[in-house]
Amino acid sequence: MIQTIPLEKILFLDIETVPQQGNWEDVSESEQKLWEKKTQWQRGNDISAEDFYLERGGIMAEFGKIICISVGMLEKNETLKIKSFYGDDEKILLQEFGQLFNSPKLRDVILCAHNGKEFDFPWISRRFLINGMMPPTPFQTFGKKPWEINHLDTMELWKFGDYKSFISLELLAHIFSIPTPKDDIDGSMVSSIYHIDKDLFRIVQYCEKDVLTLANVFRRMRQEDSLKRFEN
């Protein structure tokens, strides 16, 4: 029962990712060939490898990078304290994020994200390894039994065994009457806002809104009132 999980032990999390390069011409020839090969069945004959890279390069950890990780935890006054790790240098971003887990408070932390088990958690783990670092302990799942992995996924919680279904965080927020996080941009715009507009701060704000929405979706699944964001 999710009602029995101590809310103060949950780290709500969301990431924003983009293709490593803003232009297809900047992708190395060897990587272009690997991209063409990996995405051939998805593209079919209708979409070129170049167009598909600009559209979907930020979806695959092998060809993209993380530009923002936002996290939130419950404060004693029943508000959500949100912190973001962001920047152009992914390795520094991940190092700073990894240091978060040195805190005794996060020793038995439970990670929670929307579609986290298929996107956020493996993405973070893969990018740590690609950058020459071990993922933080909560992301290390090898050799663990399913019930030993402290990961929560609001998409999975909503399935109730119906594994064919997919639901966006935006739709969950709507049906639970939670203000939508998609009032400014959506995920499909992140790459162009980063590579073309050079507006990383706008993406950070968007990511933080998603974390607050995620936490409140989880609260509503427990039949609890919504949280407000902690303000200094």
Q: What is the pLDDT of residues 51-84, one digit of tens each?
A: 999 889 999 999 999 999 999 999 887 899 999 9
In the chain, at which residue ranges do the beta strands (DSSP E only) sit?
Answer: 10-19, 64-74, 79-86, 110-113, 151-153, 228-229
Domain locations in the chain?
2-20+63-221
Q: What angle is formed at CA 122 by the lines to CA 184 and CA 116, rounded to 5 degrees?
A: 45
What does each C-alpha distance from 116 to 23, 121, 139, 147 come to in angstroms?
28, 5, 11, 16
pLDDT > 90? residue 208: yes
Tens digit of each residue's pLDDT (9 = 90 or more) over 17-29: 999 999 999 999 9
Tens digit of each residue's pLDDT (9 = 90 or more) over 76-119: 878 999 999 999 999 999 999 999 999 988 989 999 999 999 99
State pTM to two decimals. Answer: 0.95
Contact 109, 101 (CB under 8 A): yes
Please identify which residue in the block is written with the tokens 């670092």: 133
What does the CA dihedral 169, 167, 162, 6 come to, rounded to 10 degrees? Answer: 0
Positive or negative: CA dihedral 94, 102, 79, 166 = positive
Count Cβ atoms within 10 A of the Cβ of residue 207 and give its class: 0-12 exposed, 13-18 middle, 19 or more buried.
buried
Give the CATH superfamily of 2-20+63-221: Ribonuclease H-like superfamily/Ribonuclease H (3.30.420.10)
